[in-house]
Amino acid sequence: MFKGSIVALITPFKNGVMDVDKYVSLVHHHISSGTKGLVPAGTTGESPTLDHNEHKKVIEIAVKESNGKIPVIAGTGSNSTAEAIELSKHAEASGADGLLIVTPYYNKPTQEGLFQHYKTINDNVGIPIIIYNIPPRSVIDMSVDTMARLFELKNIVGVKDATADLNRVDQQLKKMGPEFIQLSGEDGTALEFNNRGGVGCISVTANVAAKLCSEFQEACLKKDNKKAKEINKKLMPLNKSLFIESNPSPVKYAASLLNLSSDEVRLPLVKVTEKTKKEVEKALKIANLL
């Protein structure tokens, strides 16, 4: 259903407002580059600083412009269950193929609270839900047992795992089996993640290396380890450079060099430093993108 290189789409801005033309061109760039899915309104899309109208708009445009050619997994998570339901219902009505729901940040719910949060969203929609487990940003970590309980529900189909703990892939595979979709949320560990049973990555790097990331994931899925390792070696400096400072500031700078987007971000994020710029430029050259 959802596999391969799936891009966590940036949201281009121009003078403080969404640059619709650039956003539309980004969607078509990914379709032509072999990207296997779009994730609008995720963290990389600066969802925390998109207002509700903008949040809905980026999803609507992604659905319209992709026109069924590749799936759209809308970022509709919130630390308010009611808000997550509202955004999720809108995404479903807009034609999204799935939902990416982050574990509630700041509130610090218990495992039972996590279960009830996702169950309530599940009960209010009719499209697949991918759990987004990212303890570094949300503070909480969903346990494998809680995931297993959620997997019994009609719409919960998998996880975007950004725990940086590769042992979790094995644990989740053992507990839920291969039907539970495991997508990496960390470009730097995607190779090993896939070797252990993952089927793709929701990628930041794919914003600026769409074709390479697509070829890398295809090689992984075909068990062509030699090719996967070769491409991964080219991508690793870029994977690292894009997280020197808070995402998505570095990837937006990289996108600006490739004329894919401006490097404009919204406060409290700021543009990257000159030192980071040099690292990003060097990494793009290693990957033969610049």
- Every domain of the chain and the residues it spans: 4-223
Taking a C-beta distance cutoff of 8 angstroms, is the pair 172, 189 a contact? no
Q: Rounded mean pLDDT of 279-284? A: 98
Q: Cβ distance 84 to 76 under 8 Å?
A: yes
The CA distance from 9 to 50, in Å, is: 13
pLDDT at res. 232: 98
Check: CB of residue 198 under 8 Å from CB of residue 190: yes
Rounded to whole angstroms, the Cα distance separating 165 from 189 reads 9
User: How remote is the C-alpha of 284 from its chain's centroid?
Assistant: 20
The pLDDT value given to residue 237: 98
Q: What is the DSSP string of 186-200?
A: -GGGHHHHHHTT--E
**Domain covering 4-223: architecture:** Alpha-Beta Barrel (3.20)
**How far apart, in whole angstroms, are the C-alpha atoms of residue 290 and residue 285?**
5
Instruction: Locate 250 and state its tokens.
Output: 């570095």
pLDDT digits (tens, 9 = 90+) for 101-147: 999 999 999 999 999 999 999 999 999 999 999 999 999 999 999 99
Q: What is the average pLDDT across 170-174? A: 98
Residues above pLDDT 90, as percent of the chain? 99
Residue pair 125/155 in contact (Cβ under 8 Å)? The answer is: yes
Residues 87 and 47: their CA atoms lie apart, in Å, by: 12
Q: Return the pLDDT at 1.
A: 85
Cβ-contact 265, 13 below 8 angstroms: yes
pLDDT at 63: 98
Asked if 89 contacts 144 with a C-beta cutoff of 8 angstroms, the reply is no
Q: Give the model's pLDDT for residue 169.
A: 98
As a dihedral over the C-alpha atoms of residue 5, residue 10, residue 11, residue 13, rounded to 10 degrees, the angle is -140
Whether 105 is catalytic: no
| Predicted confidence (pLDDT) per residue in 198-230, tens digit | 999 999 999 999 999 999 999 999 999 999 999
CA atoms in the 13 A half-sphere facing the CB of 37: 25
* pLDDT for position 116: 98
Report residue 96 CA to chain centroid gap: 15
- What confidence tens digit (pLDDT) does each residue in 49-59 have? 999 999 999 99
* 182 pLDDT higher than 90: yes
Task: From the candidates 22, 56, 57, 160, give the one annotated as an active-site residue.
Answer: 160
DSSP letter assigned to residue 48: G
**Residue 69 annotated to the active site:** no
- Indicate which residue of 132, 252, 253, 277 is catalytic: 132
